[in-house]
Amino acid sequence: MLTITDVRTVLLTGPCTNDRFILEVRKLRSAAFVEIHTGGGPVGVGETYAGYFCPEIVPEIVAFFRPILVGQKLDPTKPVGPQIAELWRRMFHCGNFWCRVGVGAIVLTAIEAALWDLMGKAVKKPVHELLGGAKHKRLKGYATGGPSNYPKSRLAEKVDYYHGLGFRAFKVGAGKVENGAFDDGGTDASSIAAFEGDKAAFLRKHVGKEVDILFDGHMGNSPVGVWDLKTAAAVMQAVRPHGLFFFEEPLPYSDAAAYAELAAGTDVPIAGGECLSTMSEWREYLRRDSFDIAQPDASYVGGIGEFMIIAKELEARGKRIATHAWGAAGSLMQNIHAGFAAGNTCILEVPPDFADLHKRIMGDSFQMKDGHILPPTTPGLGLTISDEVKRLFPFVPGTGEFNSVPGKVLTT
């Protein structure tokens, strides 16, 4: 029997990546982890993606939920899922006026993930086994490449770099970054579409037919304006001849109906969902079939349990999953375990050439061979935050990512 003795938040700041192309726009990353202690027993670790954006608020929310967990007992000899689900239900119910969706649920994700990690370590099984077992022998991983670095020679160099790391699929953002400045590629629907179509043609010619190309509109977190339905539709028409695996977030999340109309009007697979938290927020997008390929994030969506509920509903509707994972080590491993446990996962997002903030926490839990991720074998989620890691990567306030506006400008 395990007794929860403490629930702690660990905030860390370190290099965003070793990827020199992403380093052109983002040097540091912060991350928020939750540790669940059991008085000398295993320590469960989970991450919330909120730590990348607004790390300072995470400790207070964790402290709100902490009394619900301290003193609770978990029995590794009994089914794990129902025990975690009951603790999640108590926390969710306690804060349901403000955590049905949004930051409360997003932080709750880390606590719930830490419970899964704790129990996996206790029974010496990887979390995907506790979720019903891996449904895939391997899954293709794609290098999430952030911006489209220009000029085109630079973009080609970027793609070749990912190929050299072993990836056979990659994703780049809409618009371009050149000489440190972002440009969305045009001023109206026609010019934006022409720019993206030209980029897609260039990349397809450069990599050939055997490599998967993915585009990201970043309309859930765009540094400039967002596209309307007319612009998104024009872009899809322009990139259509070049066989994209999917086009992610071509619209903001303010209109599920617009996403559905776009998806129904093009055969370019439309992806999205990384900004949606809990089934409460997902339900409208599911009902409308707004995404061809959905992107729940097991460090954001409310919990691994919520991820699996959403995945099952998507599978019933004939929709595939491509996990989102742009947090640190916990985010990556939570999504890999959940992705392997979901039968409809088609590809996994991987931050390429990750820096020490990933490596030192997940050790050798992440394994990729021939461009494919292998099911993890390490007990739990495969996460450990050592005292050395806490010493090496002390939290730096103000390092969360946000879109610059007058009065609040991102400098890190």
What's the distance, Cα to Cα, between the start and end of the chain in Å? 45
Residue 184 CB-density burial (10 A; 0-12 exposed, 13-18 middle, 19+ buried): buried
Specify the pLDDT at position 88.
98
Going through 203-354 in order, the beta strands assigned E by DSSP cover 212-216, 246-248, 270-272, 293-294, 320-323, 345-350
Going through 49-168 in order, the beta strands assigned E by DSSP cover 73-74, 139-144
State pLDDT tens for residues 73-122.
999 999 999 999 999 999 999 999 999 999 999 999 999 999 999 999 99
Specify the pLDDT at position 402.
86
Average pLDDT over residues 376-387: 98
Please check the confidence at residue 41 and state whether its pLDDT lies above 80.
yes
Tell me the percentage of the chain whose pLDDT exceeds 90: 89
State pLDDT tens for residues 191-201.
999 999 999 99
Specify the pLDDT at position 384.
97
Specify the pLDDT at position 145.
87
Whether the Cβ atoms of residue 72 and residue 3 lie closer than 8 Å to each other: yes
Task: For residue 133, give Cα distances in angstroms to 6, 120, 128.
Answer: 29, 13, 5
Specify the pLDDT at position 220.
80
Burial string for 287-315 (b: 16+ CB within 10 Å, else e) reads ebbbbbbbbbbbbbbbbbbbbbbbbebbe
- Strands of the sheet with 28-37, listed across from one edge: 6-15, 28-37, 44-48
Mean pLDDT computed over every residue of the chain: 96
Residue type, 295: Q
pTM score, whole prediction: 0.96
State pLDDT tens for residues 122-139.
999 999 999 999 999 999
Nearest Cα neighbor of 86 from 305, 381, 302, 264 is 305
Average pLDDT over residues 131-155: 96
Torsion angle in degrees (nearest 10) through CA of 293, 146, 45, 73: -30
Specify the pLDDT at position 401.
85
Average pLDDT over residues 268-292: 96
Confidence of residue 348 (pLDDT cuts 50, 70, 90): very high
Specify the pLDDT at position 26.
87
State pLDDT tens for residues 214-256.
999 998 887 777 999 999 999 999 999 999 999 999 999 999 9
| Run of H or E including 341 | helix 329-341
CA atoms within 13 A on the CB side of 95: 24
Coil, helix or strand for 372?
A: strand
Task: At 48, list the tokens.
Answer: 């919330």
Specify the pLDDT at position 184.
87
Confidence of residue 409 (pLDDT cuts 50, 70, 90): confident
Residue type, 182: F
User: Which of these ranges, 264-268, 276-280, 403-407, has the smallest mean pLDDT?
Assistant: 403-407
Query: Beta strand pairing status for 293-294 and 270-272?
Result: parallel
State pLDDT tens for residues 293-320.
999 999 999 999 999 999 999 999 999 9
Task: Describe the chain by its helix, strand, coil percentages, rounded to 5.
Answer: 40, 20, 40
Nearest Cα neighbor of 35 from 64, 63, 8 is 8
Please check the confidence at residue 150 and state whether its pLDDT lies above 90.
yes
Higher pLDDT among residues 376 and 186, named by residue:
376
- What are the chain's domains? 2-126+386-392 (3.30.390.10), 139-373 (3.20.20.120)
Please check the confidence at residue 403 and state whether its pLDDT lies above 90.
no
Whether the Cβ atoms of residue 299 and residue 25 lie closer than 8 Å to each other: no
Task: For residue 293, give Cα distances in angstroms to 13, 50, 57, 322, 365.
Answer: 32, 23, 31, 6, 26
Length of the chain: 412
Specify the pLDDT at position 94.
97
Confidence of residue 61 (pLDDT cuts 50, 70, 90): very high
Please check the confidence at residue 327 and state whether its pLDDT lies above 80.
yes
